A = this chain, B = another copy of it.
Amino acid sequence: MIKTSEVLRMKNIIGMSLVEKELYNILKGSHKNTSRICKNLIVSGGKRIRPALVLCTSQCFGKLNKEAIKGAAACECIHMASLVHDDIIDESLMRRNQPTVNAKRGNYTAVLVGDYLFAKAFEILSKNNLIRSMEVVVDAISKMCDGEIFQAENKFNLEQTNKDYYNRIYQKTGVLLSACTQVGAISANAQEEEINAFKLYGENLGYAYQIIDDILDFTGDEKILGKPIGADLVEGNITLPILKLMEQGKYKDWLKEIFEKGLIKEKYNGIIKLLKDSYVLEESYLEAELCVKKAKGALSSIEDSIYKELLLGIADKILIRKY
């Protein structure tokens, strides 16, 4: 989501090392194998963007507290769990340059490790009596799952609207990011309108991130992306650029025919050329920019601080990412 230099900066956020410690705590009391697999997942890292959102949001309101650290660790557990389950779903064999749990130990263990991590996230929240954060987080998970089930069964459906698309990417990405910022604000005992401001920030961060992701699916570098260009389209996921192309009425029937006859791979180069020639990628980028603007705008009433700066910076960086 952000560059390596930024990751390093993230890891220097006050409290991040305590979150790491909290993550290692989930290994306690488990059998050797469970512990080893989860430890691998923690060590292999990732960008820790979700705990960073929790910690930064919380510290917009004052000093770091225990609730923020626990909440941040729980959010990262949920993210790790969903990645382990996503890799089963997508039959992915590699992630972060390592074999996935399903590749190494089969779906059997991967289903269970994901469930274990979900349970540990809720254990952290319930043991620390973070009931309000729990509500936000469970709502996010059920929306994420519901959205993915819907997406799975709505592939190749060209009758989707822009609203459908935004709903879908909210459930896919925004809802968890916005849960993280809410957990941060709740941990700091923020006022309702402040919690809502951070909710809005997280949602728009998610929209912008996903729109850029969907643009990169057509324009990115295969080597950096780690997947073939146009993979989403080939799998039948209708994203913003395609929706925008359809709005230009003259291409609608042509695209429909391609979809109905299952000719996407054959006509693929033509579609890409059209996407580039018709400026829909630029138009999509403008929408991502607008979301970043909304995300930053949502924080306008929040008092300035280095943590607010960091959050504004995270939003800006989404627009310049190349992978």
Which residues of A line the B interface, CB within 8 A?
30-31, 33-34, 37, 82, 85, 88-89, 107-109, 111-116, 118-120, 122-123, 126-127, 129, 131, 134-135, 138-139, 141-142, 144-150, 152-153
B34 & A112 in contact (Cβ 8 Å cutoff): no
Question: CB-nearest residue of chain B relative to A122?
Answer: B138
Q: Which residues of B contact A145 (CB under 8 A)?
A: 34, 112-113, 115-116, 119
A126 & B115 in contact (Cβ 8 Å cutoff): no
A119 & B141 in contact (Cβ 8 Å cutoff): yes
B88 & A111 in contact (Cβ 8 Å cutoff): yes
Cα A111 to Cα B108 in complex, Å, equals 11
B109 & A149 in contact (Cβ 8 Å cutoff): yes
B139 & A123 in contact (Cβ 8 Å cutoff): yes
Give the contacting residue for A123; candidates B82, B135, B144; CB below 8 A.
B135
Q: Which residues of B contact A149 (CB under 8 A)?
A: 31, 33-34, 37, 109, 112-113, 116
Q: A126-B134, A126-B135, A150-B33 are in contact. Are A118 and B116 (CB under 8 A)?
A: no
Q: How far is the CB of A81 from chain B (nearest CB, A)?
A: 8
Cα A314 to Cα B136 in complex, Å, equals 38
A30 & B115 in contact (Cβ 8 Å cutoff): no
B118 & A150 in contact (Cβ 8 Å cutoff): no
A127 & B116 in contact (Cβ 8 Å cutoff): no
Q: How far is the CB of A87 from chain B (nearest CB, A)?
A: 10
A-B pairs with beta carbons under 8 Å apart, 13 shown:
A31-B146, A31-B149, A31-B150, A33-B149, A33-B150, A89-B108, A89-B112, A115-B141, A115-B144, A116-B146, A116-B149, A126-B131, A126-B135
| Most interface-central of A30, A112, A150 (chain B CB within 10 A) | A112
Q: Which residues of B contact A146 (CB under 8 A)?
A: 30-31, 34, 116
Q: A85-B111, A152-B109 are in contact. Are A142 and B120 (CB under 8 A)?
A: yes
Q: Which residues of B contact A115 (CB under 8 A)?
A: 82, 85, 114, 118, 141, 144-145
Cα A153 to Cα B147 in complex, Å, equals 33
Question: CB-nearest residue of chain B relative to A167?
Answer: B31
Question: CB-nearest residue of chain B relative to A31?
Answer: B150
Q: Which residues of B contact A88 (CB under 8 A)?
A: 88, 107, 111
Q: Which residues of B contact A82 (CB under 8 A)?
A: 115
Q: How far is the CB of A109 from chain B (nearest CB, A)?
A: 6
B89 & A107 in contact (Cβ 8 Å cutoff): yes
New A-B pairs, 11, CB < 8 Å, besides A37-B149, A127-B135: A31-B149, A34-B149, A88-B107, A89-B112, A113-B145, A115-B141, A116-B142, A119-B138, A120-B138, A123-B135, A129-B131
Cα A134 to Cα B142 in complex, Å, equals 17
Question: CB-nearest residue of chain B relative to A136?
Answer: B126
